[in-house]
Amino acid sequence: MSAKSEKLKPCPFCGCDDARVQIETYGKWARVFCPSCGASTMSVQVGYNDPSPAVKLWNERADDRA
């Protein structure tokens, strides 16, 4: 039931649409990873149950590809 603030872009490495957010350390850190090729962002500190900084990082990396 969590609000999805920002949508994840496709993986910049393998192009799959299956990237997902992994919450770590009691919701204080998060990273985005791709289960297909194993690419991931570094873990970033996030607000409680608000992984948007990690999502942003992922999406910026996805933009690098273009």
Token pair belonging to 50: 């608000």
In this structure, are residues 46 and 31 in contact, taking their beta carbons and an 8 Å threshold? no
Binding mask 3-32 for Zn ion (x = CB under 5 A): --------x-xx------------------
Q: Find the binder of Zn ion among 30, 34, 55, 57 (CB under 5 A).
A: 34
Strands (DSSP E) found in 9-62: 20-24, 29-33, 44-45
61 binds Zn ion (CB under 5 A): no
* Binding residues vs Zn ion (CB under 5 A): 11, 13-14, 34, 36-37, 39
